[in-house]
Every structure is written in structure tokens, then in C-alpha cells.
Structure 1
Amino acid sequence: MRSRPDWTPARWLRIVLPTVVILIWFAAAGFGGPTFGKLSSVSSNDQASFLPASAESTEVQDWQKKFTDSDALPAIVVIESETAIAPSDLATYAALGEELGAVDGVQAPSGDATTSVAGPIPSEDRKAAEFVVPIVDTENIDTVVAELRTVVDDNLPPGTHGWVTGPGGLTADLVAAFGGIDGILLLVAVGAVFVILLLVYRSIVLPFLVLFTSIFALCAAILLVYLFALWGWISLSGQSQGILSILVIGAATDYSLLLVARFRESLGHVQSRWAAIGRAWRAAFEPIAASGATVILALLCLLFSDLNSNKSLGPIAAIGIVFSLLSALTLLPMLLAVFGRVAFWPFRPTFVGEHPHQHKHADEAQIAGLEDVRGLWRRVGTLIARRPRVTWIAALVLLIACAAGVTQLKANGVQQTDVILTQSDAVDGQKVVAEHFDAGSGSPVVIVAAEGDADAVLAAVTATDGIGTADFYTGAANPGTGGPAPEPVVKDGRVLIDATLESPPESAAAEGVVRELRESLPEVDPTVLVGGVTAISLDTNVTSQSDLLKIIPIVLAVILVILMLLLRSIVAPVLLIASVVLSYAAALGVSALVFNGVFDFPGADAAVPLFGFVFLVALGVDYNIFLMTRVREESLRIGTRPGILRGLGVTGSVITSAGVVLAATFAALAVIPILFLVQIAFIVAFGVLLDTVVVRSLLVPALSYDIGRAIWWPSRLWKDNLPNETASAPVEMDRVSSAN
């Protein structure tokens, strides 16, 4: 096959081109870097905003806005006393309520009321009292809740302890837990990548060039994501913000490693660094572009999700991959061209010419394709050549055994109190609320009913098992403080009913009560709607499970088409897709066992399997693309079986390094004490390593070697009998033939 002649640009172009490209990226980083700390200002962690408009709980929220004319989020202040609270002591507690209502960000009182805070409401055992504090400044909820906690600490009656909890307190603690995304997460990820690059290249300069490429890509992506979120085009959350950073650093580094490997290889064949970067860019462009396109399209498949959090992550992460591609294919080539062999100092590549001396081995004549492959990958290649069927069957059995644990994965959602993995004042306070009040106090089930059926609906709600108390919404902050009972508020012929659950609002028991209400109440009022915190959690879990069944086939179909176009084959892409799906199942199975048996997690978010699938399948296919594009390139030159061994040998170290880098970057997500991110960190990190070590190194090459050139069916490569094709059958088969 005739190679394309090398091209060395004119001197002026060698100066102007890298200068312009590098300056453009410096400008993008200059504008994008400062916006990194501003992402939190356009980010929302409100679970309700993730639901589609068609969800029943979303409709209830829309009705609530008509009744209250406020987007206030309630916080529960609970005070626990060491002794019984006497009725005469409630005046002291009432003074605390006045102080809470005066905090900036708390809803102002309406009418003649002196405060919008409801309470103090004593518990039946008289050992606790609670206040319901409506917070209207939800954009700065962490600041408001911090001030509420200060007020509570400064005004506690003697012999009492206080907590700020409820939806407002939990949301504030969640925002605080995500606070590390702006700095700690990036520092850990970049630090891990830098150490790995130092170990891989044993170079001082090259790790900085690769990290600059990744960080500049992240800065440019953040700038665009920030603007899109500011303009309201996308919804940004803490989890998508964290995943964006990790994905860009990991993907850009992976693409850079492939280009650097090709550049180093080319420097051994040509003296000119510009000719070397030209060769490297042409060789790496197709696999890098195909890999990036695979991940981008897989992420954009999330747009088919009914859950807004999934739908918004798709374009956010896709923007990150686009800039990862652009930086790896534009900025890094210019940096490498400028530094040349100095980039690899102190171990600079040596020029040996187009046909370097090949190391001789005793079995070289028997195993075509491994002539100049040395070390670990020669031994792996020899194993595959001599025992291909045993190798891929052993790898397959291992993956199936790991996948058996997937049935133990408890991905049905968790309570919001279990989401935060560190100490949380709100979580502690919720336990106190559950001890002295109905556990669902402060997070009621909200029912919207027709005015004509209101009394019948209220009676049905009250009679439902699991409901502690239920009453009409009257707009009064402190109902039952004397005088005639206020009338229910009526809007457009509807009334609101607030029902307090006996169980924690996001427990399985509470979800069961909501399901029961949704099944029974339509018999009383066909137009009834059931919402609230528990309903939001239930609708989120149901929608997530529906998304999983819908999006998986779409992602697989998209990736399969890309692989067919890239490899000009049907058999090889089908094998690759099957291998990464099995790898995903194995990673999920092992993760389930670790979550249950090692970390003792209470469960998993319903979106965890979907996110794990999208990242593992898309990124897992990346490594197979890197391998099989090189295998196809070598197969066109020396035949399929030698090409498989040669492709494995020359890509083994770079792909393994890329896998370790990506696993390390995703593992960095675990520094954010959020259950969802910790679980995604483990699933993807373990899955990438499993895919790199077992699937790409053993299963795929051994199975392809066993099948032979039929993997290229129906392309011309399947039909052509290339050099070494017949002679490169498995070694044990060759021996039988020679004996006969």
C-alpha cells in the first residue's frame, strides 16, 4: 500500500500556524476560566425541576403556585427539649419564630400577620416543637439556611437543641456538598492524570502539554455551557457540572495519548518534526474523530429522555466532548510541532529510518505480526496466537460471572436523607422530626381536588393507611390558634389538601401511600392530582426506569452504525457492541456486590444504570475503536491475523494508559460526598479498567483472531487473500497441518 508523501510547510507557516492556533486557545481559556466559579450561580439542584411537564407531580406544583403565589421552599426548624415543654414556655418559642421570620430570604408576612413562619407546633409527647419557615430566596438557599441555623443557635431556650431540616435544609446541605465541584474535584482529577502521565512517559514536558490540552478544552466548554445555562437554553445541575469536568479531562487526555503515541512512532521514521506530526495527525484523525462522534451521539441520545436532568446532561456533556476533540486535533498537534523531540525529554525518540532493525526471536517465523513487538504485549500476543479459543472463552466466562451480580443492584431510588454521605445538620434534624412528629411532617402529600368533591376527597385521604393528618390549605400561617376555622382557599374551582405522612417522605412506605392515593382518589374525583415531595421522588424513579428501557436500544443502534461505517464491516461491529454490553453488565454486577457488601449503601438512584450504560458503552467502544482501526490498517498490509497481533502490540500500552487515565479521572468524582456521584465514579472507573484489561486486551483480539478475516465481512478485506493470511492461522492448527 503506497503511503502518502510527507509534507513540510513553509517556514512562515511553521511560525504563523502554531502561533494563531495557540493564541486562539489561550483566548478561549482566558474567557472560559473565570466562568468556572460562576457555574454554581446558574446551576439548580432542585429535584422537581428535573421532571417533565407531563408528570403528575409537576402539574401539582403548577397548581400550588396558583394558590400560594410563591415559589417558597419550606424549611423545618425543630427544637428538641430535654424536659417536657410547658404551655407557658411556648411564648419563648414564639419569639424564636419571630426571629426566624426576620431572616433575609424568608417569605415576608401577608396581611396583618407578623410573620410567615408557622409554629411553634408542639409534639404530642411535648418533647419537641417545630416551625415551618418558607424560603423564597431559593437561589441563595445555602446562605439563608446558614443564617437560620445561626438564629436558632443564638436563641435556643435553655436545655434544648435545634436543627434546620426539611426540604429547605436538605437542599442547602446538598448545595454545600456540591461545593467541592468548583475546585477540589478538578484538582484531584488533574493531579491524578499528571502523576499517571509522568509514570507512563517518564517525561517532564509532555504531561504538561497534554494537561494544557485538556484544561483548555474544559475552559472553552465551560464558557459555552455557562452562556447556554444563563440564557436558559439548558438546565445545569451539580451532578452534570461535575460529570462535565471529569468527562472533558478524561476524554481529551485519551485522545491526546493516541496522537502522542502516533507522533512518537513517526519520529522514529522521519527526522522532521513537522513531517512526523503530519503522519501522526493523519493516522490518528479517523479513530479520534470516530471515537468522539460515538461519545457525542451516545450522549445526545439522552435528549430522548423524559427526565429533564438526563435530557440536559446530553448536550452539556456533548459540548465537552466536542471541545476535547478540537483541542486534541488542533492545539496538541501545534504544541507537539513546536516542541518536537524535546517534548519527550529526557527520553527523546531516536530516528532509525523507515525500516528499523527488528529484534529476532526464536518463534518469530511462527507468529507473524509480533516481529518487533516486545515485553508484555508480545507475551499477550503469543498467548492469543497459540490459544485464541481458550483465551476468549476464559475472558467470556469471567465477564459472565461478574455480570451475575447485576440482579443485586438496588436502583429504585433512595431517600434524600441518604444522598449526602457526610454529616448533615438537615439529616440529623430529620431523624429528630421522625422521632417526635409524623415522619412526613414538613413534606406533605399535596392533593389538588375539585371544590365540589373536596369533602369526600379529604375523607378518603384521611382514611388512607399511612396518612397521619390531612386538612385543606387555608393560607393561614398558624391555623388553630383561636377563632373560627378559616375557609379553604379556592382557585379555578380547585382546593388544596395537605396530607402528612407517617413515614419518611422518600421512603418506600411513603411511595406506597402515594401510589394508593393515585389509585383510589380518582374514584371519588376523576380530576384529582397527587403531588408533593414523595410524588416527585416516585415520578423521578418511574421516569428513570422508563428512560433506561428506551434509551439503551437507541444508543446501541447509533454506535453500531458508526462502527459499521468506520470498519466497513458488519461482523466486527456486532462483536464489539456485544463485548462492551457484556462488559457493562459485568461492571454493574461487581458494583452491586461492592455497594451492598462493602459500602453498605442504602440503594442507588434510579438513573445510575442509565448513566453507567451511556458512559461505559460509549467510552468502552472508544478503546475498541482505537484497537480495531489500527488492526484494520495493519490487516490491509499484512493480513488479518498478523494484523490483529500487530495492532494489539503497538496499541496495547497507549490504550491501557488511556484506560487508567479515564478510570482515575472518573474515580475523582468520589471526592464529592454525593451518593449518585460516588456510585457513578466506581461503576465507570471499574468498568473502564475491566474493559481495558479483559475486553480489549483478551476477549476482542482473541475472538477476532479465532474467527479470522471473516470479521471483516462483507468488505473487500474479507474476500482478499492478503500476504500471510493463510500462514497466520492459530499456531496449533499450523502444527497439525505441517505434521500431515
Structure 2
Amino acid sequence: MSRSGPDRQRLGAKLGTRPLAERYACAIVRFRHLVVTLWVAVAAVSWFLPEFSQERSGGIEGLVPRDTPAVAAERRALELFGFPLLGRTVIVQHDPAGLSPYAQAESVALAMGLIRGQYADSGPLLGALPLTNSLGLVSSGERGTAVLTYMLMPPTTGFTHQMLATEHFAERHLGPEDAYVGVTGSVPARVQQQRIVEEYLPLVEIATITAIALIVCVNFRSIAAPLLTLLVAGLAFAVTIRLAATVAGLLGVPIPAELEPLLVALQLGIVTDYVIFFLSGLRVRLADGASRLEAARDSTVRFGRIVMVAGITVAAGTAALLVTRSQLFRAFGPGMALAVLVGLAVAVTLVPALMAIAGRWLLWPSLPGRPVVLPGPGDVRPVTRRRFVHVMRVMTCTRPAAAVLFTCALGLVLAALPLGGIRLGLDFVGSLPADDPVRKAASAAQQAFAPGVLSPTVVLLEGENIADRREEMAALGALLRKEPGVAGVIGPGERPSLADVGILVAEQRHAARYLVILDDEPLGAAAIETVNRLQNRLPGMLLRAGLPEAVVSMSGDTAIASHVVEETTSDLARVAVAAILVNLLMLIVFLRALVAPLYLLTCSVLSLAASLGLTVLLFQSVLEYAGLTFYVPFAAGVLLVALGSDYNIFGIGRVWEEARRYSLRDAIIVAVPESTRAITAAGVALAVSFGLLAIVPLRPFRELAFTMAMGILLDVIVVRSLMLPTLLTLVGRGSGWPGPAFRRRASALNHY
């Protein structure tokens, strides 16, 4: 029922004397139609903004600055030799029964022809480096069965262009008699990853939308509530995805392929959380007999401030990734913060406006009735979950509270123990599905040679006339070959023909380079350890080989991955401090206390450690992965700490409100059962939203999906439902120190 003219005038006259939250709620309710119109206009304008670019950054060299030692060494080699030795795109020929000598010779002839510019249709191809396993240069279980041809192209060539040019060349010059398997390597793998993300993104969106609709439908026993949730979440996502592309274009920041599915999960989950809380407040007030406008206003007053603080906390927490030096994280942070802020803006404006317009029809067909009421001090408070009230009465006694808290903390600590064995890596090829053509070609190459054959490491030597010292260079190659984790070495001393054409030795004779093939996945943790060990031992090997004056540097995907992992690990302390301080500050400001924010944040960190420990246990111990994708623990960590503070604000905020009229124990008994249903529904929706990232058949998405879903469920079920009330019980009024959160009140709720 709408207000009459005099009622509206009286409402406006009172606004100046009311608290800010109430004035805001009254304004949104009063101008509800204008709010809806403005958001429709925003959605229409955003439709004309650019979408995410299809050609995205994503190669491993795009994850680090250009002045990184490994990248600088690659650029230096390009200056000295005129073309790169690193071929991140590889043609694979493999016949387990034996590859004909003609096919092997033809691969060498094709490579020499490319180097000499004999093929007019070669496009960006500058040359090629053929490698056959018939020479025994790489230790493997096969001999004479395969040829790999590393395609050499300018590093500025786009990834898709590199892959298409290589496939075109192979199809024109290789036939069935050449046992052509396919094209693989880190560049084709990255192209395939992007294609898979784009292919499965609509499925992720549909599955997430369906799951959220079902969760909201069951929670409110309504079919209208899911429609509101999806309308608001869809609007927020449509605006965010185009606004993010526009901002990235203006700033010249590349958008990682992994970001868009993450934005889908984050924003749909966050917006669903906020809608659930607003609708819960609407349902309670309508059940109390309030009018449509009063219920919308009171729900906005009750949850608006909490939602606002919670959203800003999550946005600030994700923005903490800006303190890192990693280009990937610096792209993730603003994108996720933008998604949260847009979702927050829609939630605190459009949702109250629609509640004021539609009222109880948003809960149709399960229109709210009168709840069970229990007497309180001086008023009547609705308590809709009587059985949980009895549980809270037991849990708020000292001994049961201590037992529950100890059991929960012990369980989380035990779950976190595997975290000590975490190993970080980055495997583009290995993350692809087993039936992917790039993965199949990679498997054939690794079977015929060694696991690291697709992304060799280059050792660059510089020195006066160093190319004329063949014996010393051969000795260095022998020393490299003896190192643990090295499957083979191709150097000037072993392949003089390649040195003669300028592939391994520069024409000026002042530089030479070695191709080192590792015995492990080139971007895995074991290969990174091998490269780090080689980096430390190279000065000593140069001395033993008789080349002490040579200047040495290393390049290649493994060397770059080593820098990425090292940089990420060093960023851990910086990100952890920034994220914890941001979330702690928001909790302190919101609660006007210091003690409660400290133990609440400690619980969130403990829950995060437990989820990461379970992730390590599953993927490294059970599934036997070589290591977790390097960015998964850190992205999940920042998100889980921020979302943990989000639920802290929702959970303890209700206790703080009830503590204004009840004793602390009675406030817990009233507030926790009342908020548990909404928090549980919101947490399950968010966990499902992130968990459905596992639909994308790429290893990093499945690692992230499990970590996020497990972390959110632990936070909602263990921390929020069990540890929060027990900690408040045991710490008591000290939780509000030093602020005036609690004052001694008369005992209330004496019978349940």
C-alpha cells in the first residue's frame, strides 16, 4: 500500500532528524521508480561498451616484467643471433614402430629451408630446430621413433597467429607418411586454454544461475525470489564485464583468460548473498504485519549498513592484490574489486527499490505468515527457528562452549597440516583435458623424448671469441648433461652443423647457446627446482670447463616460471599483511571494538589454512599432481579472508544489534539462530557458485573451485555457526573492548 501525500510530507520532514541509514532507506523507497529507471539506463549504456578482447595476454612471459632476468636473456639472445632458439610451438612426428629415415631427413631439410628463407608461405616463421630421438641426445625409452621441430618466430607474434602459422606449414609440407601427430607447446596450450574457457563459460554461467535459483527458491519457498536474484545479478554482471573491458583498455592492462569465469562466480555469488539478506529482512517485517513500503524500508535500514560495510570489505580485500609485483595478480585484483563494487551498488539500490515496488509478491507463492514469537524484555521478538534456540542455550554455557571451540579449532589445525608440503608450479599443457589434440601431441613427444622436451631451457654464453673454444664448450655441455633432472643437452660441441648455420653460435663468434631439456614437466615444481639448482651451479661448471670469464644467463619457460613462483612466494607476506590489515580495519570500524575483530579474523585465517591444506591433500597426495598452480593459493587466500570478514560482519553484526537491548548471552541466543538460515543459504550459494568453476576442464579452475568451495563451507558451517557463538560466550563483554558495545543489561529471555 502506497503512502498518501500528507504521509510523504511527514516522511520528508522527519528525514533530517533520523540516522543516516534510515534516511537513506526512506529515500530509496520514496524514489524507487527513479532508481529502477536509472539502472535500466545504465544497463543500456553499458551495452555499447566493448566486450573482453578475444586476443588476450596469457603466455608465461606475459606474467612477468620485461626486465626479468630470464626475459632479458631471451631478448639478448635475439639481438645476438637474429632469431630465437626457444620454440614454444612444436611440430610432433611420432611413430612408435619407427620413423622412416626419409621423414627424419625431410624434417631437417624443412628446417634448413626455413632458415634460408626458401618458403614464401612461411608467414612469421623465421626458422626451425629439428630434434630426432635417433641421435640419443635425450635420454628416453625410444630410439628412432620421433622428430620434434621447434618453430622459431618473433616473440611479438600473437599466440593464435603462431599456432595457425605452424599448423598451416605442417599441413602443407607433411603428409601421413611423415607420421605427423600435431602441434603442441606452451603457446598452443595457452591458445587451447583460452578456447576452452570461452567454450565452457556459457555452461558455467547457466549452471551457476540454475544452482543459485534453486538455492534461493528452496530457502524462500518462492519462485519470485530467484527471479529477483537473477535479474539483479545479471544486471550487475553485464555492467561489470563491459566496464572491466573498458577500464582495461584505457589502462593498457591485459585481461587474463582466467579472470572472466572468476568474475562470474564472484559476482553472482556476492549479489546472491546480499539479495538473500535483504529478502530475509523483508520476509520478517511482512510477517510482522508491516506494509510493503515499511517492510522494504525496515529491511534496508537493518541490512543496508551491514551489506555496505561487507561489500566494501570484500572489495578492499581483493584490491589488496595490487601490492604484489605479479602482473597476473595486479590484473586480478582490480577486476575482482570492480565486480564486488558494482554488485554492491546494485544490491543496496535496486534491490530495496524492487522490494518497495513488489513487496510480498517477491516471496510468492509462499507469502509470509506470522512467525513463532517468544517474549523478550519489554517487547516481542520473532524467533522462527525454535530448535536452534535450544542449541544456542546449550552452546552459550561455558563448558559446552569450550568443548565446541576446542574441537573445531583442533579439526581446522589438523586439516591445515598438509599445507606444509605445498609445491607451486604452472603447467599449461598438463592442465588440458587428456583428449585435447595439443595434449595428445605433447604426450607423444614426451613419450618419445622426455617430459621437459616441449619447453627447453636455453643457457646463453657470451665472451670474446667464445665460439672458437669448442673443447671447452663441449666440456660444459657434458657437465650440464650430468646434472640431476637434465635429460639431454644440445650445444655447439655436439651439433656442429647447427653451429655452422648460426643457430647455436652467433656469426660474430662472441656468443653461444645450449638447449637444455629437463627430465620433468617444464613448468612443474621439480623442473623449477632443477633450473634453480643449475643457476646456482653454473659459475662452478664454467670454471671446471675452462670458461671462467664467460658471462652466462638462462632463459626459457622454466626459468620464467621460477621467477614467477619466487615472486609470488615473496609477495605472500606483503599480500597477507595488506589483506589482513584491510579486513581488520573494516571490522574494527564496523564493530567499534578491537578484541572481537582480532579473534574473528584469526578464525577466518585458520579456516583458510584448513581449506588450503585439504586442497594440497587432494591434489598433491591423492591425485598426485606435481604441484598446485601458483596463483590458486594466493587468489583463494585473498578471496576467502575477504569473504570471511563479509560473513563476520553479517553474523556478529546481528549480535551487536541485539546486544543493544539484551544481555550478550541472550543476544547470541536471539541473533545467531535468526541469522544462521540466511548466512547458510548465502554461503551455500557462494560455495556452489565457485564450485561450478570445476566445469571448466582445466586443472587450475578445478583447484580453485575446490579451494573456494571448501573454504566457504568451512567458514559458514564451522566458523560462523559454531566458533562465533562460543568465542563470544567465552570472551564475554571483553569482545567489545575498548568500545561501548556492551553495557550491563537486565537478564532476558529466561525461558525457551
**Which AA in structure 2 matches 1:273?**
R
Tell me what 2:189 maps to.
Answer: 170
Shift of 1:329: 0.8
Instruction: Determine helix, strand or coil for the equivalent of 2:52.
Output: helix
Matched, 1:488 2:505: yes
- Distance in 1, Cα, partners of 2:250 & 2:82: 25
Confirm whether residue 724 of structure 1 aligns to residue 739 of structure 2: no
Query: Hey, what's the Cα distance between the residues in 1 that align with 2:298 and 2:335?
Result: 33
**Distance across 2 between alignment mates of 1:433 and 1:7:** 65
Q: Take 1:11 and 1:445, find their aligned partners in 2: how far apart are those partners? A: 61
Partner-residue secondary structure (3-state), 1:231: helix
Q: Is structure 2 residue 604 aligned with structure 1 residue 580?
A: yes
Contact kept in structure 1, 2:87 and 2:150, CA below 8 Å? no
- From the superposition, tell whether residues 468 and 376 of structure 1 become closer, same or farther in structure 2 (CA, over 3 Å): same
Alignment of 1:214-293 (within 5 A): 214-269=233-288, 271-293=290-312
Q: Distance in 1 between matches of 2:324 and 2:224?
A: 43
Contact 1:46 1:171 in 2 (8 A): yes
Report the Cα offset of residue 106 of structure 1. 5.5
Question: How far apart are residue 375 of structure 1 and its match?
Answer: 4.0
C-alpha distance in structure 1 between counterparts of 2:429 and 2:88, whole Å: 16
Letter in 2 for 1:575: Y
Q: Which residue of 2 aligns with 1:131?
A: 149
Indicate which of 24, 35, 40 corresponds to 1:23: 40
User: Take 1:582 and 1:12, find their aligned partners in 2: how far apart are those partners?
Assistant: 41
Query: Which residues of 2 match residues 421-460 of structure 1 at below 5 A?
Result: 421-437=433-449, 439-441=451-453, 443-452=455-464, 454-455=466-467, 458=473, 459-460=475-476
1:252 is displaced (CA, Å) by 1.2
Q: Which amino acid aligns with 2:373?
A: Q
Cα deviation code 1:368-390 (max 9, x no counterpart): 99873424432432332343233
Unaligned stretches of 5+ in structure 1?
A: 111-115, 732-740
- Picking from 418, 437, 443, the partner of 1:405 is 418
Is 1:388 matched up with 2:385? no
The equivalent residue for 2:429 is 417
- Read off the aligned partner of 1:380 and give its amino acid letter: V
Residues 278-287 or 672-681, more deviating? 278-287
CA-CA distance at 1:67 after TM superposition = 4.6
Query: Secondary structure of the residue that 1:569 maps to in structure 2?
Result: coil
Separation in 2, partners of 1:160, 1:195: 51
**Aligned counterparts of 2:559 and 2:686: Cα–Cα separation in 1:** 37
Contact 1:277 1:337 in 2 (8 A): yes
Asked if 2 retains the 8 angstrom alpha-carbon contact of 1:453 and 1:525, the reply is no
Aligned-partner SS, 1:497: strand
Tell me: CA distance 1:99–1:189, structure 2 relative to 1, closer, same or farther (3 Å): farther
The answer on whether the counterparts of 2:59 and 2:187 sit within 8 Å (CA) in structure 1 is: no
State the Cα distance separating 1:723 from its structure 2 match.
2.7
Question: Which residue of the partner structure matches residue 75 of structure 1?
Answer: 89
Q: Supply the distance in 2 between the matched residues of 1:306 and 1:90 (Cα, whole angstroms).
A: 45
Give the superposition deviation at 1:628. Answer: 0.9
Output the CA distance in 1 between the equivalents of 2:512 and 2:260. 36
Report the AA paired with residue 744 of structure 2. N
Contact 2:401/2:729 (8 A) holds in 1 = yes
| Equivalent position of 1:715 in the other structure | 739
The CA deviation string for residues 699-740 of structure 1, in whole angstroms up to 9 with x for no partner, is 11122023222211111234x212327x98x99xxxxxxxxx
Q: Cα–Cα, structure 1 residues 303 and 168, in superposed 2: closer, same or farther, change >3 Å?
A: same
- C-alpha spacing 1:122/1:560, structure 2 compared with 1 (3 Å): closer
Cα 1:13/1:699, change in 2 over 3 Å: closer
Q: How far apart in 2 are the matches of 1:620 and 1:403?
A: 17
State the AA in 2 paired with 1:425. P
> Using a 3 Å threshold, how does the CA distance of structure 1 residues 15 and 709 change in structure 2: closer, same or farther?
closer
Within the candidate set 713, 724, 739, 1:700 is matched to 724
Aligned AA (1:501): I
Kindly report the root-mean-square deviation, in angstroms, between the aligned alpha carbons of the 2 structures. Answer: 3.8
Q: Given that residues 91 and 151 in structure 2 are in contact (C-alpha distance below 8 angstroms), is that contact kept between their aligned partners in structure 1?
A: yes
TM-score (norm 1): 0.85
User: Structure 1 residue 517 and structure 2 residue 540: aligned?
Assistant: no
Cα displacement string for residues 542-597 of structure 1 (whole angstroms, at most 9, x for unaligned residues): 22222223311221122111111110111110110111111112222222222245
Deviations 1:620-667 (A, max 9, x none): 121111011111111012122211221112211000000000000000
Moved more, 258-267 or 590-599: 590-599
CA spacing shift, 1:585–1:272, aligned 2, 3 Å = same
Match of 2:329 among 310, 316, 338: 310
Determine the C-alpha separation between the residues in 2 that align with 1:77 and 1:43: 23
Which has the higher mean CA deviation after the structures are superposed, 156-165 or 452-461? Answer: 452-461
Secondary structure at the aligned position of 2:630 is classed as coil
Instruction: Choose the corresponding residue for 2:229, options 189, 210, 229.
Output: 210
- In structure 2, C-alpha distance between the alignment counterparts of 1:45 and 1:434, rounded to whole Å: 23
Contact 2:459 2:552 in 1 (8 A): yes
Correspondence for 2:373: 358
Cα deviations by residue, 1:150-186 (Å, 9 ceiling, x for unpaired):
9549943338352312233322332233233531221
SS at match of 1:658: helix
Q: Following the alignment from structure 2 to structure 1, what is the Cα–Cα distance between the partners of residues 114 and 464?
A: 40
Contact 1:587/1:687 (CA < 8 Å) preserved in 2? Answer: yes
**Do the aligned residues in 1 keep the contact of 2:95 with 2:179 (CA within 8 Å)?**
yes
- In structure 2, relative to structure 1, the CA distance for the partners of 1:106 and 1:167 (3 Å cut) is farther
- Residue in 2 that maps onto 1:738: none
Matched residue type, 2:94: E
Separation (CA, whole Å) in 2 of partners of 1:420 and 1:705: 50
1:636–1:13 CA distance, 2 compared to 1 (3 A): closer
Preserved CA contact (<8 Å) 1:414 1:602: no
Aligned letter for 2:362?
A
- Whether 1:301 and 2:320 are equivalent positions in the alignment is yes
Change (3 A) 1:694 1:74: closer
1:83 positional shift: 4.8
**Alpha-carbon shift at residue 604 of structure 1 (Å):** 0.9
Please report how far the alpha carbon of residue 693 of structure 1 lies from its aligned counterpart in structure 2 after TM superposition.
0.9
What is the aligned partner in structure 2 of residue 650 from structure 1? 674
Decide whether aligned partners of structure 1 residues 468 and 253 sit closer, same or farther in structure 2, where only a CA change above 3 A counts: same
1:56 aligns with 2:69: yes
Residues 21-60 of structure 1: CA deviation (Å, up to 9, x unaligned) = 332343255346xx5xx42525222122112345321322
Hey, what does 1:677 align to over in structure 2? 701
- The partner residue of 2:577 within 553, 575, 578 is 553
Q: Structure 2 counterpart of 1:724, which letter?
A: S
Question: Is 1:374 aligned to 2:397, yes or no?
Answer: no
| CA distance in structure 2 between the aligned counterparts of 1:518 and 1:79, rounded to whole angstroms | 32
Judge conservation of contact 1:670–1:677 (CA < 8 Å) in 2.
yes
Q: Is the 8 A contact 1:358 1:371 kept in 2?
A: yes
Tell me by how many angstroms 1:209 deviates: 0.8
Residue 682 of structure 1, CA deviation:
0.5
Q: Secondary structure at the match of 2:88?
A: strand
Query: Is the Cα–Cα contact under 8 Å of residues 152 and 162 in structure 1 kept in the other structure?
Result: no
- Deviations 1:466-506, CA, capped at 9 Å, x for gaps: 27334369xxxx98389777893379x97351323242433
- Which amino acid in 2 is paired with 1:61? E
Shift of the alpha carbon at 1:531?
A: 1.4
Quote the Cα distance in structure 2 between the aligned partners of 1:648 and 1:711. Answer: 16
User: How has the CA–CA distance of structure 1 residues 91 and 716 changed in structure 2, closer, same or farther, with 3 Å as cutoff?
Assistant: closer
Q: What secondary structure, in the 3-state scheme, does the structure 2 residue paired with 1:638 have?
A: coil
Q: 1:299 to 1:88 in 2, by over 3 A?
A: closer
SS of 1:445 mapped into structure 2:
strand
Provide the rounded CA distance (Å) in 1 between the counterparts of 2:55 and 2:251.
Answer: 9
